[in-house]
Amino acid sequence: MIDGNSGLSRRAFISSATATGALAGVSSTAAAQESASTETEIVTVGPGGSLVFEPGTDSTMQITPGTTIEFVWDSDNHNIVVDTQPDGASWDGHETIENEGFTHSHTFETLGTYEYYCAPHQTAGMGATIEVVESISTPMPSNVPAVPDSAKTLGVATTFALIATLGMGFFFMKYGGDWDVEDN
C-alpha cells in the first residue's frame, strides 16, 4: 500500500479547521465592535420647513451609549434647548438660534431619557426625546415572510451532507486506497 498523505493526521486536520474557524470568528467580532463604537445618527432639525425634529418628535429615538448624534438644520430659526436629562449627563444642547445648513454634534454616554425642544417653536410642539439604552430591541416587521419548515429541513440536510463529505474526504486522504502499483 502506498500512502502519499501519511503526514496528515486527524489531530492536524481538526486543529487547522478549528484555528481557521476561530480566526474567522474573532475577526468578524472585532469588525462588529469597531463599527458599533463609532456609530453616528442624524437628527434633522425642521425638515422641509416643518416644526419637528426627525426622528425624535413623533417617536422616541433610541440609541446606545457612545452614539454621536449630529443635528442638521434643514430650515431657519431653530435651536436645541435641553429640558430634562439623566443625572450625571452633560449635554448643553445648542441654545443659539441657527439657520439652514448649520450642524451640531453630541456624543451621548449616560443611560436615560433626554428631552429637548426648539425655544421659538415650543408652543407649536417642536420638541423631541432621545432615550439612551443598553441595547436596542428591534421588533420583527409584520411583512417579513416566515421560513417554511421544509426549507429549514433542507438546510439541515445540506449541512449534514457537507460534513459527511468532509469526513469521507479526510478518511480517504488519511487511509487512501489499497491497490497494487505495477513496476515497469
In the predicted structure, residue 169 carries a pLDDT above the cut 60: yes
Please tell me the total count of domains within the chain.
1
pLDDT of residue 20: 63
Would you state the pLDDT for residue 79? 95
Supply the range of the domain harboring residue 83.
Answer: 39-132
d(CA 39, CA 68) in angstroms, rounded, equals: 6
128 burial level (CB within 10 Å; 0-12, 13-18, 19+): buried
Phi and psi of 147, rounded to 5°? Answer: -80, 125
CA 53/CA 48 separation, integer angstroms: 11
* Confidence at 98, pLDDT banded by 50, 70, 90: very high
Domain-located, residue 57: yes
pLDDT of 32 over the 50 cut: no
Which is nearest to 54 in space by CA: 38, 64, 69, 39?
69
CATH, residue 128: 2.60.40.420
Domain-embedded: residue 15: no
Answer yes or no: is 180 within a domain: no
Residue pLDDT, tens place only, 42-52: 999 999 888 99
Query: What is the residue whose three cell numbers read 426627525?
Result: 54
Who has greater pLDDT, 115 or 12? 115
Whether 177 is covered by a domain: the verdict is no
Identify the pLDDT of residue 31. Answer: 47
